Structure 1
Amino acid sequence: MMRYLTLCIGMMSVLGVNQAVAQDKLKFIETTYDFGQVKEEDGPVMHEFEFENVGEDSITITYVKASCGCTTPDWTREPVAPGDRGFVRAQYNPRNRPGSFSKSLRINSSGAGSTYVYIKGTVIPRKKTLEEELPIKMGALRVQNTNINLGRITTEKESVAYIEMYNDSEDTVRFLDQYDGPAAVVVTFDTLALAPKEKANVMLTYDPNKEKDALGSKNYGIAIYTDEEDEGQKNFNVRASVREYFAPMTDGEKAKAPKLSIDDKLNNAGRVNEGQTVEVEYTLVNTGAGMLDVRKVESSCACLVAELDDYTIKSGKSASMKLTLDTSGMRGGQNKTVYIYSNDPQESTQVVTIRVTVIKKG
């Protein structure tokens, strides 16, 4: 560890010395330029950093590297004699980059080491066209996306999402007051009659507590219907990752609660041949005071099967979980995970991972 720290400190010292040497020989008029507000629709902006060779020998800029691909550098290519001036140019492309930015350019030179200049500013996004805002056309209607991701939610309460719909036709589109989907999802409409060139919201309300199996990854198909002769059925996909909700607890309540502990949550099985079956085991220990209930064990893919020998674990006791991975059809590095949902109020969802490198047969 000490050798590593010493090496890092040494490298930082060398970089600091190089920077100081460059600054002694290359004198920039400015090292930071603020573009201020940049309109995205105006395209790339450019600034030229001018420098003077204040050293005793000619200096050649050998390379300028920008901190990201959005910034294009250019520079004086010929040697700069003592007392003469050169430039480093930075061109920033704001396309699809709304918000503030701060970028650096590292300037490498022969005879003067390396130094940095910086650009910054704020991109004002251009107003999007209707087609860009709502790119998916479903019959007469336009929507932004057919995949509705509710993200990570809990069983505490319902979650709501809105689908904005635009009538891109010359006729009124009428929604049928019906839909297909699971009982846990309720669909309601702003209006059942959407006039031409108007927008309306369709609201999706998801209540995981209406399901027998409330926890884990959820993926549902939803169908909404209109009176259109063609493409009257609008299909959407609703996803969510549901965790159990636990109310805030006192220190005394926490002391009486179960606690799930798993050592070495990452198991690296190394290199295996394609098609080989890999088995690993994990030990789940209840290090808390209360009874631990494992609510659910969920694998990230059908290729990985998890088997837990006991879903109820007393205080101080353990259970064994075996993972079996079928590597058929896999190539290269693979990380497969299993989610363990329990009544541990402090860490109700835990993840274990099996890692393998799959080698092609023959």
Structure 2
Amino acid sequence: MLLMSRNRRPAGKSQKAGRRGGRKSLLLIAAVSFLALAGIFAVVALRTGPSPTRAQSGPGAADRGAPSGGRPALSVAPSSYDLGQISQARGIVTVEMAVTNTGDGDLEISEMETTCGCTRASLIVDGKTGPWYGMRGHGDWPTGWSARLRPGQRAALRVQYDPDAHGIYRGPVDRTVFIYSNDPQQTRAAVRLIGTQGP
């Protein structure tokens, strides 16, 4: 029996060694296969170029191609707008400002927001009006919208102020519209509206 137990131990060790060798071979084959597949995907990705940007449903979506190289720059004129004397009796005040891409790369505007529920903003690109953006957390929030301005292209920022939003308020008005974009110098541009509300 002593001889049998001695014979069994070496046999068991050789089986374990064989299993370890088999596992190492399987791991090596799996690693080589993974690297080969990764290489194939990399070659295909390089040959087909960058993937197209996500589907756009906002203003100017039909005219959009892939983003151009270069550096975008967002400019709003005027960046501050004096509404003057605002008559509550006359209702909503609507103004427009020019938004221009003064850079040499495509400008992507992803969304906007205002600092008060009394104010909302929309962007008009190539004659197509985008959704209204107001104060975040007040009402429905547009999703899936964005707009692209090519270098030198101009759009219109339409802003509305509703004097009835605060009841019978009399006094100064100071509101801001924020425009979010891929401009590396100002990812959040501010447009200010001031005025004095009366009867």
TM-score, scaled to structure 2: 0.48
Structure showing greater relative contact order (alpha-carbon pairs closer than 8 Å, 6 or more residues apart): 2
User: Counting strand residues as a fraction of each chain, which structure ranks higher?
Assistant: 1
Between structures 1 and 2, the one with greater helix share: 2
Instruction: Tell me the TM-score normalised to structure 1 length.
Output: 0.27
